[in-house]
Amino acid sequence: MALLLKNAHIVDPSVNLDGVADVAIEGDRITAVGENLAVEGAEVIDLSGKYLVPGLVDMHVHLRDPGYEHKGDIVSETRAAAKGGMTGVCSMPNTDPVTDNGVAVEYVKSVAAAKGHCRVYPSGAITKGLKGEIISEMGDMVAHGCVAFTDDGRGIQGAGMLRRAMDYGKMFGKVFMSHCQDEDLVGEGQINEGAVSTRLGLLGWPAEGEELQIQRDIMIARLTGAKLHIQHISTARGLEMVRAAKAEGLPVTCEATPHHLFLTEDAIDETYNTSLKVNPPLRTAADAEALREGVADGTVDAIVTDHAPHADWEKSREFELAPFGMIGIEGSLALVLTNLVKTGKITYQRMVELMSIAPRRILGVDEVKIEAGSLADITVFDPEIRWTIGEDGFESRAHNCGFTGTEVCGRATDVFVGGKATLRDGVVC
């Protein structure tokens, strides 16, 4: 049945829209955008007071499926994505078996298509088993729908290995996404190296452990001509390197997470809250401030969550034994609205670029525009809903959220993927 979404404030900078209008949908496409639309027989949904934007995409998400279903699976984590307002996610390959061949990509893609609550754009590993030793079956993975290459969870330790992978893999035209971590320098580092790590008696994970690989990967992108995307950037100097690479005209982009933007190492205290143990670690207030400036000035291209579900028993171990990562996909839109849009640091249009337009462009997946003919992937949110993260639980199988208890303003109410509702009135369908 046709759908008629009425009276929402539409924001889509790609077609210069910023005002109240109606959107008509038939099948998987938008058929009309304009004022006072009428479509015979359509289901009419009144969205007065709400915003309607091209569907949000989180390009850094761990679905944990196959192999770690005790943490989360494609169904539970795409439910979390829908709840957070996402129409699509890019899945990370650190599954078991690792997503490093066409069959593994096919598994993620087909299970997501059959049972998922959003689109899943699978990434594939750069090296077999994420071991950094042998190039993965890149062509096979691309043939099965892999949209990007990454060894996320680990940095590629050998510069020559990355060079060979980029030289070979660039023929597929996909972006290389780098988790930057020099393992020799970082060692067993638990949190940012500095006063807090010293006071808490935890081994430090120095900023340089990330920055060395950011600079190295930029240089190898220059050498090979491959497209490079720096994942979950966390330091001011690292961001400066990306800024310089962009000024040079290199095909380099980067992403930042809400936890690196809005939390700092100072949140970690004697309670040793393992939800705040993430990789790369929460950095200093100056780093977070620099990242927020980068978001505003365009150096940061995309906001992602690095949504990393872990089971309660895994996160309730001693800090050193707990795995790195926090969930975030259900709170990211609200955190961005609350901390960046409502404070006037960025506009709604910039938010749409960061959370919808740029992720699709970097991943090279279908564009979505609020105009006739476009795929009907749409996010609707109410900017005035006040809520507390975690207060009514999570759709995710996991609970390891570093923002639990944080009061925010703004929440997704309705999501449509290819014209089908995946969230209605805040309820996942």
Cβ 86 to ligand DOR shortest distance, Å: 18
Residue type, position 210, single letter: E
Q: For ligand DOR, which residue of 4, 98, 230, 278 counts as binding (CB under 6 A)?
A: 278
10 Å Cβ neighbour count for 83?
Answer: 23
Cβ 73 to ligand DOR shortest distance, Å: 14
Q: Is 64 annotated for ligand binding? A: yes
**Burial (CB count <10 Å: 0-12, 13-18, 19+), residue 348:** middle
10 Å Cβ neighbour count for 106?
Answer: 18
CA nearest to 204, candidates 293, 320, 94: 320
Q: Is 279 annotated for ligand binding? A: yes
* Per-residue exposure over 214-246, b if at least 16 CB sit within 10 Å of its own CB, e if not: bbbbbbbbbebebbbbbbbbbbbebbebbbebb
Between residue 138 and residue 177, which ones bind ligand DOR under the rule CB under 6 A? Answer: 152-153
Minimal CB distance residue for Zn ion: 179
Window 136-155: contact mask with Zn ion (x via CB under 5 A): ----------------x---
End-to-end CA distance of the chain: 17
- Rounded Cα–Cα distance for residues 262 and 272 (Å): 19
Minimal CB distance residue for ligand DOR: 325
Cβ 201 to Zn ion shortest distance, Å: 25
Q: Are the C-beta atoms of residues 390 and 405 closer than 8 Å to each other? A: yes
Q: Is 324 annotated for ligand binding? A: yes
Cβ 310 to ligand DOR shortest distance, Å: 7
* Cis peptide upstream of residue 280 (ω within 30 degrees of 0): yes
The one of Zn ion, ligand DOR, none whose footprint includes residue 278, by CB under 5 to 8 A per kind, is: ligand DOR
Residue type, position 414, single letter: D
- List, in sequence order, the alpha helices (H) in 65-154: 74-83, 102-115, 138-143
The two structure tokens encoding residue 335: 């955190």
The one of ligand DOR, Zn ion, none whose footprint includes residue 58, by CB under 5 to 8 A per kind, is: none
Cβ 216 to ligand DOR shortest distance, Å: 17
Between residue 73 and residue 102, which ones bind ligand DOR under the rule CB under 6 A? Answer: 94
Cβ 209 to ligand DOR shortest distance, Å: 13
**Residue 62 sits in the site that holds ligand DOR (CB under 6 A):** yes
Q: Is 416 annotated for ligand binding? A: no
Catalytic (active site) residue 306: yes
Cβ 40 to Zn ion shortest distance, Å: 50
Q: Is 139 annotated for ligand binding? A: no
Regarding beta strands 252-256 and 191-192, do their DSSP bridges make them parallel or antiparallel, or are they unpaired?
unpaired
CA 323 to the chain's CA centroid = 19
Beta bridge partners of 387: 408
Between residue 157 and residue 196, which ones bind Zn ion under the rule CB under 5 A? Answer: 179
- Rounded Cα–Cα distance for residues 284 and 40 (Å): 57
The residue from 12, 73, 287, 306 that is catalytic is 306
Q: Is 301 annotated for ligand binding? A: no
CA nearest to 94, candidates 37, 179, 210, 13: 179
- Cα dihedral sign, 395-398-402-406: positive
Between residue 301 and residue 330, which ones bind ligand DOR under the rule CB under 6 A? Answer: 306, 308, 323-325
DSSP state at residue 170: G
Q: Is 9 annotated for ligand binding? A: no
The one of ligand DOR, Zn ion, none whose footprint includes residue 265, by CB under 5 to 8 A per kind, is: none
The one of ligand DOR, Zn ion, none whose footprint includes residue 275, by CB under 5 to 8 A per kind, is: none
Nearer to Zn ion, 176 or 416 (CB): 176
Q: For ligand DOR, which residue of 144, 174, 179, 350 counts as binding (CB under 6 A)?
A: 179
Q: Residues comprising the binding site?
A: 60, 62-64, 94, 152, 179, 232, 279, 306, 310, 324-325
Q: Which residues bind Zn ion (CB under 5 A)?
A: 152, 179
Residue ranges binding ligand DOR (CB under 6 A) = 62, 94, 152-153, 179, 278-279, 306, 308, 323-325
Q: Which residues are part of a known binding site for substrate? A: 62-64, 94, 279, 310, 324-325
Which residues are annotated as part of the binding site for Zn(2+)?
60, 62, 152, 179, 232, 306
Query: Which are the catalytic amino acids?
Result: 306
